[in-house]
Chains A and B, each alone.
Chain A
Amino acid sequence: MTKPKVASDWLAGCAGCHMSFLDMDERIIELTKLVDLRSTPITDLKEPDESGVDVGILEGGITNTYNEEVAIKMRERCKILVALGDCAVFGGVPAMRNFPGAEEALKRAYIETESTDESGMIPNDPELSTPVHVRPVSDVVKVDVFLPGCAPSADAIFYVLAELAQGRMPNVDGEFNDWH
């Protein structure tokens, strides 16, 4: 039997969920025996295989058009999509921006900060993606497994991946369901 392929990526997050993934320490060796780790933000391969993967993992919320693209591509190329962490599941910290709105938040960040002089301006390069209303991943594409947490514990991540690798849908409950 071939090992299931797993790919991950991050959207508007802090990378903490991926750090928590690494926090499983030597169990990562055990995990690589169960799964074929393909693209991740911390490995050389950056995009999920065009031929598709079995499990896609997304960290972070959707805050701009680029995040939307990445999420859609991951959804298209994976069979089971995992929303990893509070930002991917709920919108998380980036979603605080929704209360004042993106424009206010950018103005505060790029123009009004105490350390900014008169030349402060909101970046407007046409190559930059456009900010959108911050949403959880499930507002853009269908999510199959929600693993909340800020960050989810290494134990929870290991449990979810080990279950998926063995063809079972994980039941995120008890200590693994921790919204913080």
Chain B
Amino acid sequence: MIQLTVNGQPVEVEAGSTILDAVRKAGFNVPTLCYHPKLVPYGSCRLCLVEVEGARTLQPSCVVPATNGQVVHTDTDKTKSAREFILSMIFSERNHFCMYCQDTDGDCVLQQAAYDEGMTHWPITPAYKPFMVDASHPDFILDNNRCILCRRCVRACTELVGNATLGFEERGSGSILIADNNVPLGESTCISCGNCEQFCPTGALIDRRSAYMGRETDLTYVNSVCMDCSLGCERVVKTRDNRLVRIDGNLDLGSNESLLCYDGRYKPVADNRKRITSPMVRRNDQLEPIGWDEALTAISVQLKAHASNEISAHISPRQPIEALSAFHEFFADHFNAEQVTLLGHDQTALTSAKLANEIGAFESDLSALKDCDIAIVLGTDLVKDHQVAGYFLKRQAMNDLKMFIANSTRTSIGDWSSNKLEYVGTDYAAVVDLLQSYAQAEDPDLPAKLQNLGFKPERAERILGQLKESQKPVIVIGKEFAKAENLPAFHKLVQLAREIGAKVVTLKGKGNNFAGALLGYKLDAQPMSTPVFYLALGDGHACDHTRDALAGSEFKIVQASYASEFTEIADVVLPCTIWAEQEGHYLTSEGKLGLNQQAIQAADGNLPVLDVMKSLANKSGLALSEAWRAAVEEKVAAIVLS
């Protein structure tokens, strides 16, 4: 521990802390602009200057290490006048007129810093030099005129997302923020994750949809867990007057370190599909609005009139556990329906659960991905799916991370590493066999195995040669590898992982796929046409196969938020709440329960799947138990290492 004094108050901080850490621990504040708790300190803005006794000049507290015996002052005439001078210079450099900026009052760190210093005007007249505005991106606008050159965006893009799209051109006060080699953002390598925009302290990067829709202080915040893929990224949903305004990563919660991808941040707000507003029933080949009770009675009559093997029910993994549990209980337990499946048909969670049942818990949490020296990625492309998990590998790939990738098609994550060995194909048994050879002492068959998979021995040696000695190996399992038929290979792989001390992370499809597997849903069956077909699509999509199965069924019930090719052919359509209009839990790939809080009120007539299940159960004289938590938690503990 290091002991020092801040403003006369003794404080103790851990070795490696900065003066800023000590100042804040001592209960004082120093304004910052370029500093962000999630980024490596950078020290470019100089606003955090403090006086350190014995030092020749003022010291930037965010980058200077705290040392024993330091005597620090944060609020002297010298620091105050330095801060005011720095702010005056920043305000004079570009267009920092607050009155026509979208980022004001609580949104803008620069404005707040000026308020904190008690500035009522700018002592230096602005230069009025125009800088480049890039409005080529569909989701956010880059306005260099509002930029203070703190480079938080560049650092978020590189350090956290590992995408390195953003950078700076020119020098000094003429520096401009650009994408790639100065191409329009909309045509650049940008993946539209928007993390730069969230990290921007001013109005230099602004979200097109939320701009001028209200200050942060006008918005209502609720915590939400993303249900797009199964990483369950924690986020904050911001609303105003019952409208979605924007979504940000949650700085305080979750394995996602406040990071989101396009699907978690922009896509839900951009969704402008046509909503279903009333229950409808098909009469004379036309869908006609009817009341809820009438619609539910019609369904109830059909369910009772058919044998269990004539009923099938299918639900989107975007639905919360509460809905999945009730749905399964209603259709599988009470009606003993022929098929009760989870859409998406991703078997990873099921295969993984089966394997854990045989050999005990083996899965690790996502932190394994954040610090590894070799990553073996099997059956998934982390640039396309589970993107935030991909960020964790991409950002390490810029350093020394070695990657071994196997997938049926070439992956994009491979493009991020020059230290990689990539196999394109589906012979996962041979892949695991090869890994085993490298993990063992000597294998005389190694050359044959390499040739079989099409690898050059030198390159394979360079990537996999260290597998045995690797300190932090991680194995990432995706959908393609975790199919039921690969169970023996999966089994061998986990044993191998245990031998070499590798952590195994399995990524389990969309939304609540993991919970679905634990609740007993069939994940390995495609929907079949049945006399009664219940499709709880919610706000999700389904594949063509599901559409064909629906089309081939006789009595088609579709519970959906949006009009689609599914609702068009349905006999009964039930309007469903969207993710933001309902509350519920999600089980992430790593077995953590996340809560998606309700952000907005649904319009009259829209009901959650859970409510509809309760009403239908009521009509059949049944009661649903609603108890799922204990069983789910117990099953997770048998799969994921604690």
Residues of chain A touching chain B, judged by Cβ–Cβ distance below 8 Å, are 83, 86, 89-93, 95-96, 98-100, 133, 135-136, 138-139, 143, 146-148, 150, 172-173, 177-180
Q: Tell me the bound Cα distance from A93 to B101 in angstroms.
A: 11
Residue of B nearest to A101 (CB): B128
Q: Tell me the bound Cα distance from A83 to B97 in angstroms.
A: 16
Interface residues on B, range: 10 to 19
Question: CB distance A98 to B128 under 8 Å?
Answer: yes
Q: Tell me the bound Cα distance from A125 to B361 in angstroms.
A: 88
Residues of B within 8 A of A143 (CB): 121
The list of the 3 closest CB pairs from A to B, nearest first, reads A146-B120, A98-B128, A179-B98
Name the distance in Å between A42's Cβ and chain B's nearest Cβ.
23
Question: CB distance A173 to B118 under 8 Å?
Answer: yes
Name the distance in Å between B339's Cβ and chain A's nearest Cβ.
59
Name the distance in Å between A22's Cβ and chain B's nearest Cβ.
21
Residues of A within 8 A of B104 (CB): 179-180
| 7 extra A-B contacts, CB within 8 A, seeds A96-B100, A136-B125 | A83-B121, A90-B122, A91-B126, A95-B97, A136-B121, A179-B111, A180-B98
Instruction: Mark contacts of B115-146 with chain A using CB atoms, 8 A cut-off: 1 yes-contact digit, 0 otherwise.
Output: 10011111001101010000000000000000
- Per a CB cutoff under 8 Å, which of A99, A136, A139, A179 touches B99? A179
13 of the cross-chain contacts (CB-CB < 8 Å) are A86-B99, A92-B99, A98-B128, A99-B95, A100-B130, A135-B125, A136-B122, A138-B121, A148-B120, A148-B121, A179-B99, A179-B111, A180-B105
Name the distance in Å between A163's Cβ and chain B's nearest Cβ.
14
Residues of A within 8 A of B122 (CB): 90, 136
Name the distance in Å between B89's Cβ and chain A's nearest Cβ.
16
Residue of B nearest to A98 (CB): B128
Question: CB distance B130 to A99 under 8 Å?
Answer: yes
Q: Tell me the bound Cα distance from A61 to B355 in angstroms.
A: 74
Q: Tell me the bound Cα distance from A179 to B114 in angstroms.
A: 10
Residues of A within 8 A of B121 (CB): 83, 89-90, 136, 138, 143, 146, 148
In this complex, which of B98, B100, B105, B121 has the most chain A Cβ atoms within 10 angstroms of its Cβ?
A: B121
Please judge, given known A-B contacts A99-B130, A179-B104, A179-B111, whether A147 and B120 are in contact too, CB under 8 Å.
yes
Residues of B within 8 A of A150 (CB): 99
A-B contact count (CB 8 A): 57
Residues of B within 8 A of A83 (CB): 121
Question: CB distance B105 to A99 under 8 Å?
Answer: no
Residue of A nearest to B114 (CB): A179
Question: CB distance B99 to A180 under 8 Å?
Answer: yes
Instruction: Mark contacts of B447-468 with chain A using CB atoms, 8 A cut-off: 1 yes-contact digit, 0 otherwise.
Output: 0000000000000000000000
Question: CB distance B125 to A178 under 8 Å?
Answer: no
In this complex, which of B111, B119, B120, B122 has the most chain A Cβ atoms within 10 angstroms of its Cβ?
A: B120
Q: Tell me the bound Cα distance from A96 to B128 in angstroms.
A: 8
Residues of A within 8 A of B125 (CB): 135-136, 139
Q: Tell me the bound Cα distance from A147 to B121 in angstroms.
A: 8
Residue of B nearest to A174 (CB): B115
Residues of A within 8 A of B100 (CB): 93, 96
Residues of A within 8 A of B97 (CB): 86, 90-92, 95-96
Residues of B within 8 A of A133 (CB): 128
Q: Tell me the bound Cα distance from A93 to B121 in angstroms.
A: 15
Q: Tell me the bound Cα distance from A8 to B99 in angstroms.
A: 23
Question: CB distance B128 to A99 under 8 Å?
Answer: yes
Residue of A nearest to B127 (CB): A98
Residue of A nearest to B129 (CB): A99
Residues of A within 8 A of B130 (CB): 99-100
Name the distance in Å between A39's Cβ and chain B's nearest Cβ.
25
Residues of A within 8 A of B99 (CB): 86, 90, 92-93, 150, 179-180
Q: Tell me the bound Cα distance from A96 to B95 in angstroms.
A: 9
Q: Tell me the bound Cα distance from A146 to B114 in angstroms.
A: 14
Residue of A nearest to B95 (CB): A99
Residues of A within 8 A of B114 (CB): 179
Residue of A nearest to B98 (CB): A179
Name the distance in Å between A88's Cβ and chain B's nearest Cβ.
9
Q: Tell me the bound Cα distance from A135 to B119 in angstroms.
A: 18
Name the distance in Å between A97's Cβ and chain B's nearest Cβ.
9
- Per a CB cutoff under 8 Å, which of A95, A147, A177 touches B118? A177
Q: Tell me the bound Cα distance from A86 to B125 in angstroms.
A: 14
Residue of B nearest to A85 (CB): B99
In this complex, which of A90, A133, A143, A173 has the most chain B Cβ atoms within 10 angstroms of its Cβ?
A: A90
Question: CB distance A178 to B105 under 8 Å?
Answer: yes
Residues of B within 8 A of A180 (CB): 98-99, 104-105
Residues of B within 8 A of A86 (CB): 97-99
Q: Tell me the bound Cα distance from A100 to B99 in angstroms.
A: 19
Residue of B nearest to A171 (CB): B118
Residues of B within 8 A of A90 (CB): 97, 99, 121-122
Residues of B within 8 A of A96 (CB): 97, 100
Residues of B within 8 A of A93 (CB): 99-100
Residue of A nearest to B115 (CB): A177
Residues of B within 8 A of A92 (CB): 97, 99
Residue of B nearest to A145 (CB): B120
Please judge, given known A-B contacts A179-B99, A180-B98, whether A89 and B128 are in contact too, CB under 8 Å.
no
Residues of A within 8 A of B98 (CB): 86, 179-180
Residue of A nearest to B145 (CB): A99
Residues of B within 8 A of A173 (CB): 118
Question: CB distance B95 to A89 under 8 Å?
Answer: no
